[in-house]
Structure 1
């Protein structure tokens, strides 16, 4: 071991310098520790050169399947514009192969970073919201059938944008009042298309209500939380998160942890608190092992999350461990991959 190892509850498991044999490795598995830092023992075979791609350990099918799903979303939008509807077989062909492969991935943060780029924002956003909606529903304890429906709802939530002119969708400057009103029509357009396409009210309502807010400040109907469909509450959280982390023609991509902090603030007024806090609680452990820059300019690694103070974890900096929940004058500025 090149450093001390602790489990998720802060219990010391192994000390720096411990040789790793079968017993020690078994202990690491028993404590459900995913990552450790080691030094190769003298006299052992040289390590094979590592790929510079930090995501080489991921399922190699994910990247091509993701871009297939993005291309599939574009085709769905085009067909919806021409025919006024979409087809179940097309959705399954586009999105289901990706679902089958990403459901086993545990590090959602790295997965999103790997699959996020500046191209095809509208279609990438649809795929990301589908993925995140699937994860959120699963984290909420929904059945597998309902979880897949939530993923489908997220994937199709923006299909109404097929009726919005591209000059408005991709406008680099601020929208004027008329353009903004037209953008606000896309939930209704999506509801009409999906109601015509499927005998599934929940999926159609998720499209209609994903810009509604639990405090009644959303659109198009100004609904409050008790009036929103549960699927729409999930898609709303996924939609906001994906939009904030994405590179767009009119917005800078934001740090993933910073966005979670913004979501946390929104959970007290606009977004459903149960859905949002479930999402944050399950996303935060994904940051364990990630390099971070602190507000004092130092760099470290997150080694343990804090279940009562999401954004102030335990950070390993040099030879010391800094508990940000105790050292309140320090904070995380950026998460670096």
Structure 2
């Protein structure tokens, strides 16, 4: 029987993941707390007052509103429609981006109403889905790398903004900024945009101008200055090593930091002419290293890692030695080295095993 101080938590939904003293995630965000969870809290000496949880709202039977998710498993099953439907939505969003690029190329102004009416609803809806792996799988069907990158960044940035508890007005601005952050690329030479080989020094210098061009284009189009700032700043870095103005720390807007991180993740996990896509955990490790090296904002970065790692709990994986297992616990201090339960029910803590790593996440 759980201690009295914990009893009122039973049946509530966690609004933030719970971690042990060493950074191991004990219970993931969104879990409905059962007596077994409460016993774990007591065993790990987690104070009831430190647990962030809310009452679960009963769905109203006389409305058509979507019922709340009640378990992590159910949350993973919510896909916003059939696979064919969601892939079609992604395809249409890519087409709308193509039309917007053509309009910008012809008129040197951004049709903001088209962005808000045609693309923003898809981004907001998709970002609320639980299974990000499925989202990125759908985006792989996009033939154009640029549109796949933009849609992925916008979805990821919106989900991250939600996790950072932005209000609806901020979240809408962030989503719009994420759709338009790379718009300056439309004004670059097509030969450069379509180049498959690595950029030489001259190419790279021209390419970097897309930040300035995008800022000028959006400012001229009358968008909110916070949206225009993202186009200018999304390649700036915390330590001043970015471009075009070598900004540091608080000189970079919060929107720009969020979208920069999402841009890095999507770039790492996409095939490029000069390298194959990073695996999920290789990308996570690279982002973790950039946080440690003060390239990316630490608060936003750790929140991002928590956002994507919590979705790995329960996922099937293939290890580098060919064995299969399931992720049981993740550790924010060792994001690429979770606790695995193997098919023979043996446990393996990858943070303590140096010759085995996760080869593939099966979802």
Shorter-chain TM-score category?
0.7 to 0.9
1:264 aligns to what? 288
Q: Describe the shift of the 1:329–1:178 C-alpha distance in structure 2 as closer, same or farther (beyond 3 A).
A: closer
CA distance in 1, matches of 2:332, 2:198: 39
Asked if the contact 1:73–1:127 (Cα under 8 Å) also holds between the matched residues in 2, the reply is no
CA distance in 2, matches of 1:209, 1:56: 35
**Deviation, structure 1 residue 202:** 0.7
Alignment of 1:1-337 (within 5 A): 9=26, 13=36, 33-35=71-73, 58-60=80-82, 61-117=85-141, 119-268=143-292, 269-319=294-344, 320-337=346-363
2:11 aligns to what? none
Unaligned runs of 5+ in 2: 1-17, 19-24, 28-33, 38-68
* SS of corresponding position for 1:267: helix
Residue range with higher mean Cα deviation, 291-300 or 187-196: 291-300
**Deviation, structure 1 residue 329:** 4.4
**Deviation, structure 1 residue 299:** 1.7
CA distance in 2, matches of 1:240, 1:103: 18
Unaligned runs of 5+ in 1: 1-6, 15-30, 37-53
**Deviation, structure 1 residue 120:** 0.3
Deviations 1:86-115, CA, capped at 9 Å, x for gaps: 122110232123134214311223322332
CA distance in 2, matches of 1:226, 1:264: 20
CA distance in 2, matches of 1:195, 1:129: 21
CA distance in 2, matches of 1:131, 1:70: 13
Q: Describe the shift of the 1:128–1:212 C-alpha distance in structure 2 as closer, same or farther (beyond 3 A).
A: same
CA distance in 2, matches of 1:226, 1:100: 27
Count matched residues. Answer: 298
User: Given the two structures, how large is their TM-score scaled by the length of structure 1?
Assistant: 0.81
* SS of corresponding position for 1:207: helix
CA distance in 1, matches of 2:271, 2:291: 23
User: Given the two structures, how large is their TM-score scaled by the length of structure 2?
Assistant: 0.75
CA distance in 1, matches of 2:90, 2:142: 14
